[in-house]
Chain A
Amino acid sequence: MNRLAPVAAQGHAPVMAPSSGGLRGALSDLFWRRPRFLLVLMLAPPLLWLGIVYIGSLFALLLQSFFSIDEFSGLINRQFTLKTYGDLLQAANVDIIVRTVVMAALVTLASAIIAFPIAYYAARYARGRWKALFYLAVMLPLWSSYLVKVYAWKLILAKEGILTWLLGKLHLGWLLDAWLALPYVGGSSLSVSATGTFIAFVYVWLPFMILPIQAALERVPANLVEASSDLGASPGQTFRNILLPLALPGVVAGSIFTFSLTLGDYIIPQIIGTSRLFIGMAVYAQQGTAGNIPLAAAFTVVPIVIMGFYLWGAKRLGAFDAL
């Protein structure tokens, strides 16, 4: 039969096709008529996972922080008390918290400054093959083992490592020595200094900053930049008034990653850096060797509270207005 013949010549085909029959046909029709039903069906497993396994265990952990440990028997006393939080506020523990927060803030700031130009290039200029190369370059470090990367950095930063050697060749060894002589950031070599910890953190978390900023910049129409320039704004003014405010949700998203990942990490400062503790290491030590689960739980509350304040502050500053 000629499919393009006038309709009348084709006889009378039925208007509605019959249901394909069986359970599958009935289900297809049901899902079409009640799309919410399908939605609930699809969302139920992940919501159950999130609600019970994830939030539930987190809640159990928080609950532990209100218990205390019997210092003689080492047994957990399951009675509501704020004693553990009192322990948390001892000078040595506050030191750990301040050290971790300062490190996380510096790592976040440095990541944002390094990531922005890279993300800007990728969002504005990279096309086709260059864009693929960008994604590959940003993601590639994420494919290799975290431990391998950290140990690689330990070697790079070591006294006999390539960085010291390179700076020596460039006759800049004195600069490194001067830096390492400084209090707080220094040490006997980069691999056992806070500077080394900082470098490793920035390297490991940088992709988590680049990708959200790139996604945010990609959503900024190019003609907004042109419009700003057209209205007399210099490139610097356009960056401050248009690009930065519109990319801010991406920067905040990225900083949530870098900030919270640094707050919780216990491996990098253990391998690279001074032997001073970070929050993650304190949690590890308290729940493991010391067997003090309540204090470990109280330590984990700290990053959660800090992130809560951080998000609240970011919202107050209007970081999410352009979403």
Chain B
Amino acid sequence: MTSAVSFTRVSRYFGAVRAVDAVDLDIAPGEFFAMLGPSGSGKTTCLRLIAGFEQPSSGSISIFGERAEGVPPYRRNVNTVFQDYALFPHLNVLDNVAYGLMVKGVGRAERYRAAEEALALVRLPGYGTRRPGELSGGQRQRVALARALVNRPRVLLLDEPLGALDLKLREEMQEELKALQKALAITFVFVTHDQGEALSMADRVAVFNEGRIMQVGTPQEIYQRPATRFVADFVGSSNILPPDFVYRWSGQKRWGSLRPEAIRVNRSVNQEGVRARLVSTNYLGAMIRLALDADGLRLHATVPAGVVLPAEGELVTLTFNRENLHLMEEGA
């Protein structure tokens, strides 16, 4: 099957900076794909390479089997939802949404009808006569989405789509985006630095660092079996264990990771386990996060709120199941 988007050893240099460095990537049709990474990791440049705003310095990109290098953005059936929405301030909402159809020469009545439908799809019916400046952040986001979707793109690109929204709206939009993607069966590629967003929305996640892809996998794979220390550190609040520590428990001298929720905290000091001192506690609502000091190694554990906690400074024993200790590919 042809990939929706395929990168073959794609690099993009800005002067001496390798923004994207020999990336191979395949995104399946109809997939909800996340590019996750810190700022400057190359994820946005990858998105811009797909949109056509950037051209690769080397390597090749194909979109649904067609070569994309040298094809300008306006000839690609790919649309983008920009980070700050990039709505045209001098046009009203309806003309913004109908813009793509207007430049393609679709008649006025037909493009306005399609734009109204798209606005209904993002639950903003009847907002057509307003100016973008009169809308809230969440509404602008929906208009930007409608403006892209009205063109029926083969691939929809979303650049930090929820970055500017507050928590409540963000959670709402996460669900809506996911439902929309399922209903329309369009390939969605979205860029984010928020690992929670990537894990909760995407079918697959690519973790970027310094212009390279560190790991590609389902959210479960990325979260539970990080390939490298960087992925374990970036994707979650995972405990990263040095090779010496891992060797004692698994017999292999490799870096390991252990999820905070996999650690059990026992107040008795007479059983087998890792001896640690409680440094501080952090109330998170449903859970409590404990910071522990195990002979110089800083560990975090989460326990359900409501259990009786040891006092700060108290000595405790930490235990965990061996199968929860994940060994990473990175050696000592």
Contact = CB atoms under 8 A, between A and B. Distances in A.
Interface of A: 221, 223-224, 226-235, 237, 241-242, 245-246, 321-322
A223 B90 contact: no
A321 B90 contact: yes
Interface of B: 51-53, 72-75, 78-80, 82, 84, 86-90, 99-100, 102-104, 147-148, 151
Contacts of B73: 226, 229-230
Q: Which 6 A-B residue pairings sit nearest by Cβ, starting from the closest?
A: A231-B100, A227-B86, A233-B103, A223-B86, A229-B73, A322-B90
Given A231-B79, A231-B147, A232-B74, A245 B90 contact: yes
A242 B104 contact: no
A242 B79 CA distance: 18
Contacts of A226: 51, 53, 73, 80, 82, 86
B86 A221 contact: yes
Nearest to B83: A223
10 contacts: A221-B84, A221-B86, A226-B82, A230-B78, A232-B74, A232-B151, A233-B99, A241-B102, A246-B89, A322-B89
A1 B52 CA distance: 61
Residue among B51, B79, B84, B89 with the highest chain A CB neighbour number at 10 A: B89
Binding site secondary structure of chain A: helix
A246 B148 CA distance: 21
A229 B72 contact: yes
Contacts of A321: 90
A221 B73 CA distance: 18
Residue among B53, B100, B103 with the highest chain A CB neighbour number at 10 A: B103
A227 B80 contact: yes
B118 to A, nearest CB: 12
Contacts of B102: 241
B90 A231 contact: no
A229 B51 CA distance: 10
Residue among B74, B84, B87, B100 with the highest chain A CB neighbour number at 10 A: B74
A231 B84 contact: no
Contact of A224 (B53, B86, B103, B148): B86
B90 A232 contact: no
